[in-house]
Amino acid sequence: MGNFNVVLKRELASYFATPLAYVFIVIFLMLTGVFTFFLGGFFENGQADLWAFFNFHPWLYLFLVPALSMRLWSEERKSGTIELLMTLPISLKGMVVGKFLAAWLFTGIALVLTFPLWLTVNYLGDPDNGAILAGYLGSWMMSGGFLAIGSCISATTKNQVIAFILTAVVSFLFVMSGFNLVQEWITGWAWDWVVDAVAALSFLTHFNAIAKGVLDLRDVLFFLVIIVGWLLATAIVLDMKKAD
């Protein structure tokens, strides 16, 4: 997988070579602001934490991350550069990991740029900075999960719009599977272990635990397994469908 870092570098630079990076970051910062202050009631809560901020991240990622991940492979397939890339001496693994890491680092950058919020809570009160750090880490891990799903779906199609919509739908299922609505719906007819398995797949359950400041290794592991699993699927899809 040797030179995945060359792919990573190219990919990350290409975000900033187009308006994509700036549009994404600006929208992300604006929406986190809106969610935190208006919907989350940041001030009304009267608590020095960033719960109101992290609480909305799953919903934000639901449509922002697919916008980022849709181009990962669809664009290469559409423009034919996939043929160039795949005949260069880079392993398939190196390409998949390089591209994914570039996108993941990019969401990391967007997250880091929300630091004024962190400054604000520290100015207003005396928050548990460890818990906030855990929240950031959890949010970043979760964005990785969404990106890995998006990477795989992007590999299946030349059409970025289809990649966007499918990624949003699949991601939505992964978020919702922990909700009472879904749980009650399947409890009626499915076996208990199925109900448990579906609940265990929920991004929300695992993220909420981390976002509250409880950094459980199992939750971190969950996202890592999700990422690795979907990236493996990406590699398999690419190998099967690269020339279609």
Using CB under 8 A as the criterion, which residues of the chain lie in contact with other proteins when the complex forms?
A: 3, 6-7, 10, 13-14, 17-18, 79-81, 83-84, 86-91, 242-243
Q: Return the structure tokens found at 173.
A: 């299922």
152 Cβ neighbours under 8 A, 6+ residues apart: 230, 231, 233, 234, 237
Q: Toward other proteins, which CB reaches closer, 87 or 180?
A: 87
DSSP three-state, residue 195: helix
Indicate the residue among 86 and 111 with the shorter CB distance to other proteins.
86
- Tell me how far, at minimum, the Cβ of 66 lies from other proteins, in Å: 20
**Closest approach of Cβ 82 to other proteins, in Å?**
8
Minimum Å distance from CB 57 to other proteins?
Answer: 29
Q: Give the nearest distance from C-beta 24 to other proteins in angstroms.
A: 15
CA gap 57, 209 in Å, rounded:
13
CA atoms of 134 and 72, how far apart (whole Å): 28
C-alpha closest to that of 143 among 223, 217, 228 = 223
Report the SS3 class of residue 214.
Answer: coil
- Show Cβ contacts of residue 186 under 8 Å, excluding neighbours closer than 6 positions: 194, 195, 198
Q: To 10 degrees, the CA torsion angle through 15, 220, 5, 69?
A: -30
- C-beta of 212 vs 242, nearer to other proteins: 242
* Nearer residue to other proteins within complex by CB, 7 or 110: 7
Task: Find the shortest distance in angstroms from Cβ 74 to other proteins.
Answer: 14
CB of 107 to other proteins, least distance (A): 20
Angle in degrees, 0-180, between the axes of helices 71-79 and 129-156, rounded to the nearest 10: 30
CB of 88 or CB of 113, closer to other proteins: 88
CB nearer to other proteins: give 21 or 149.
21
Cα–Cα distances (Å) from 203 to 58, 99, 223, in that order, read: 8, 22, 8
End-to-end, the C-alpha distance of the chain in Å comes to: 24
Task: Provide the 10 A C-beta neighbour count for residue 204.
Answer: 18
d(CA 66, CA 25): 14
Closest distance between other proteins and the C-beta of residue 6, in Å? 5
* Nearest to other proteins of 17, 124 (CB atom): 17
